Chain A
């Protein structure tokens, strides 16, 4: 399959890329890892007149923890998966990176692309909701830090302006007695999630849940924050009973539709099961386990 013809530019400075995007408006698409965009172009579901390739811009791929955790938008999933900081301190992100598409796709696929594409089936959004992350975008008017709850507007639609580029993901620094996990259920490696659930908790001095974050993948028009499930855990000991109640709440908050991956009832029950599993693992990790 051959994409429709387009003009190609590969600027070496972010400012140039923003300038081009502002100039061309909706005509242009930004190319990062290309692992979603190029297939869409091959199917001609996307036919941008211009491609602005970000891959020649230096300094957009990094994982740094000084204060909060900062991940450059052009960081490849493989590099995230293999990052010591991610592996040791942000296991929920390592969980997520390791189940995106397949290992070959992950050599090109980027974190920024996964988020900016706003596909409800993409995996990072649920984790970033659970972690209460922010998306940093740069445009002609400067830098904007967008709370993750304000980022996803609809399927394939974000609150980015047409001339803004995602440059970084910011995640609050991992606190002691906190932990999270991402659990994805897929038909086979490389497929989209039937359901994915990200859960992150912070325990207080007594071992009760101080705060919880729960994000649901591919059970709605966008990634979904399971607010009632999060609320149900607050102040409670994260025991089987509390987790079961939260899992029921999350299942009720999901908005799955029937498709080739299963009927509504099945997906809703998967949300319940995977919320249970991810919360259990989050508790283990918050208490210092793996």
Chain B
């Protein structure tokens, strides 16, 4: 079947078997290997991508289901050579060790911060509870997301000084 989807802002087409999983389309047809396959059983979240802005486990979605829809992967986070605040946070706060969970973890974080710009620690921990990390114990991942939240908040305040002043 022919599918057309927008991946990281670019329109893509592929001819796929219905049984092809979205994660395989992303990695093998589109060669975007930043999205990882971990458990392959909907548990670990390493394959998390955003489908129409919401985090989903791409090992548990058929590629045909994404026809006509928008997919965001870790490769789309960096813009014009500048890391996304979440990527910067993971770097600065040492939010990874082996890095295998990191792309999924960051996609979940990006979606969280889009819906809730200043999450509490509990909200962060709840949001990433479907993403498993076996290295860090999550402490630095939480710090990385808090870093991104603060940085994105500051950037927003700088862009809208008048609005910030009124508040």
* A-contacting 9-mer, from B54-62, B73-81, B90-98, B133-141: B54-62
Assess A8 versus B18: contact at CB under 8 Å? Given A102-B130, A104-B108, A108-B60: yes
Contacts of A34 in B (CB 8 A): 60-62, 65
Assess A103 versus B126: contact at CB under 8 Å? Given A1-B40, A8-B1, A53-B65: yes
Instruction: Convert A1-18 into 0s and 1s, putting 1 for each residue whose CB lies closer than 8 angstroms to a CB of B.
Output: 111111110100000000
* B-contacting 9-mer, from A35-43, A139-147, A227-235, A261-269: A35-43
Nearest A residue to B128, CB-CB = A103
Q: Looking at B40, B55, B65, which has the most chain A CB atoms within 10 Å of its CB?
A: B65
Say whether A104 contacts B55, CB under 8 Å: yes
Contacts of B40 in A (CB 8 A): 1, 42
Contacts of B48 in A (CB 8 A): 104
Say whether B62 contacts A107, CB under 8 Å: no
Q: Is A101's CB within 8 Å of the partner chain B?
A: yes
Q: Looking at B42, B56, B57, B108, which has the most chain A CB atoms within 10 Å of its CB?
A: B42
Say whether A105 contacts B18, CB under 8 Å: no
Nearest B residue to A78, CB-CB = B54
Say whether A104 contacts B19, CB under 8 Å: no
Q: Is B64's CB within 8 Å of the partner chain A?
A: yes
Cα distance A178–B56 when bound, in Å? 36
Assess A4 versus B19: contact at CB under 8 Å? Given A34-B62, A42-B40: yes
Interface residues of A in 50-82 (CB under 8 A from B): 51, 53, 55, 78
Cα distance A55–B41 when bound, in Å? 22
Say whether B18 contacts A6, CB under 8 Å: yes
Q: Is B129's CB within 8 Å of the partner chain A?
A: yes
Say whether A105 contacts B57, CB under 8 Å: yes
Assess A35 versus B1: contact at CB under 8 Å? Given A105-B57, A108-B60: no
Instruction: Convert B121-135 into 0s and 1s, putting 1 for each residue whose CB lies closer than 8 angstroms to a CB of A.
Output: 000001101110000
Smallest distance from the beta carbon of B64 to chain A beta carbons, Å?
A: 6
Assess A38 versus B62: contact at CB under 8 Å? Given A103-B127, A107-B54, A190-B129: yes
Assess A189 versus B129: contact at CB under 8 Å? Given A7-B18, A39-B42, A107-B56: yes
Cα distance A2–B24 when bound, in Å? 10
Say whether B19 contacts A6, CB under 8 Å: yes
Say whether A104 contacts B17, CB under 8 Å: no
Contacts of B108 in A (CB 8 A): 103-104
Contact of A55 among B21, B54, B60, B65 (CB under 8 A): B65
Q: Is B45's CB within 8 Å of the partner chain A?
A: yes
Q: Is B120's CB within 8 Å of the partner chain A?
A: no
Say whether A38 contacts B61, CB under 8 Å: yes
Say whether A105 contacts B42, CB under 8 Å: yes
Smallest distance from the beta carbon of B20 to chain A beta carbons, Å?
A: 8
Cα distance A21–B8 when bound, in Å? 36
Binding site for B on A (CB under 8 A): 1-8, 10, 31, 34-35, 38-39, 41-42, 51, 53, 55, 78, 101-105, 107-108, 189-190
Q: Please provide the 9 A-B residue pairs with the shortest distance between their CB atoms, ordered closest to farther.
A: A102-B130, A8-B18, A104-B130, A189-B129, A107-B54, A3-B19, A38-B60, A104-B55, A103-B130
What would be 28 A-B contacts, judged by CB atoms less than 8 Å apart? A4-B19, A6-B19, A7-B18, A8-B1, A8-B64, A10-B64, A10-B67, A31-B62, A34-B62, A35-B60, A38-B60, A39-B42, A39-B60, A41-B19, A42-B40, A42-B41, A51-B18, A51-B62, A53-B64, A101-B130, A102-B130, A104-B48, A104-B108, A104-B130, A105-B130, A107-B54, A189-B130, A190-B130
